[in-house]
Amino acid sequence: MPASSTYSDVSTADSIEPSIPAPSSSPPPSSSLINKSGGDLSAVDLICADMDGTLLSPDHNIPDITFNRINKADNNGCPVVPATGRSRASAVQCFARGGIDLYSRPGIYLNGAITYDHTGAVVAEKIHSYTDIVEAVRVVEGVDDVVVLLYNGDRVLAPYSSGRIEEIYGSLHTPCPEDCGSYEKMLSKIHDEAIPINLIHFMSLEGRLQEDMLRKIRTFSESSGCTAAQSLWRSCDVVPAGVNKGLGVKVLKENQGYKRVACIGDALNDLEMLQEADVPVAMGNALPEIKKIASLEVNPNSNSELPGVADLVDRILSS
């Protein structure tokens, strides 16, 4: 594993991201400046963008116009980088269609549990204790319709394989997990091979993750000192204590030398990232809590003519 720094432990509240909205048949609202001090957009030298609900349209794809604007931003010295709950391997699938190589681009992944620099090297990460992982598996004992998957950077481990798991991961344009054979074998593999786990992923195989299971996950998370974040309606992620996207933003500024960072998102797991940003930006489809702390609001991700991230790039390059 490449040498990396370790995040400091700070507390953070659980966050829940809503399901991705369906496209609206009515004309999308135009973007608008909020009457707050957004500062000088012309000085922005990095854009950290959430993916689901932000970079991605409601069909989980990056629109062509957004790829166009990402390339323009790159050419003007203001790269757009992912700040997402997804792994880098998952994000790569989404960016590949636009010819963008995420292995040579900085990025914040797994809700801030791991951050990479422009060479693809890990510059900061946080991992779960083995006890955390064992306790997570106990949460789903006797439950057949929820599976625990474990993320080690770009790698995902599963206790078993199934057509349903493959179908769900395929719909999200995400590589399928490695089949370990059983929960017991998965735990043994992690222990014996000392595999560091950055994120614990609870996923429902049959519809929405039910509230009783969410309560169990949050109870486990709180008792372990970890943080739970629901990024999609069928799943819930648990990251190590103190992890959030804002820590990744701080690392990129300190490690890579970025001076003025714009962060754009739509949901509560983007909250700390926007709080850390020099220019906090809310999508038009963002939750009220996100819009409240933003200095700028842009179009929603359902706007096919100029989705939010493309809208933001236009504003920065024209300032």
CATH number, domain of 96, equals 3.40.50.1000
Please indicate, yes or no, whether residues 208 and 229 belong to a single structural domain of this protein.
Answer: yes
CATH code of the domain covering residue 148:
3.30.1240.10
Judge if 188 and 253 occupy the same domain: no
pLDDT given at position 140: 97
Task: Give the residue from 187, 212, 239 where a domain finishes.
Answer: 239
Whole-angstrom distance, CA of residue 110 vs CA of residue 270:
12
In terms of domains, do 146 and 167 share one? yes
Domain check: are 139 and 283 in the same one? no
CB 139 within 8 A of CB 159: no
Find where tokens 């922005």 sit: 44
At 232, the pLDDT band (50, 70, 90 cuts) reads confident
Give the percent of the chain with pLDDT over 90.
78
Give the dihedral sign, CA 230/235/238/243. negative
Name the residue among 228, 13, 9, 221 with its Cα closest to residue 126.
Answer: 9
**Comparing C-alpha atoms, which of 154, 178, 150, 4 is closest to residue 82?**
154
pLDDT at 67 over 70: yes
Residue 106 has pLDDT above 60, yes or no: yes
- Do 159 and 98 sit in the same domain of this protein? no
Same domain, 256 and 121: yes
Residues 303 and 263 in one domain: yes
Mean predicted confidence (pLDDT) in 146-168: 94
Give 14's pLDDT tier (boundaries 50, 70, 90).
very low
Query: What does the pLDDT look like over 252-263, one tens digit per residue?
Result: 999 999 999 999
Does any domain span residue 21?
no
Q: What is the pLDDT of residue 203?
A: 95
Which range of residues forms the domain containing residue 305?
5-14+37-125+243-318
Task: In whole angstroms, give the CA distance from residue 161 to residue 159.
Answer: 7
Q: Could you tell me the pTM of the whole model?
A: 0.84
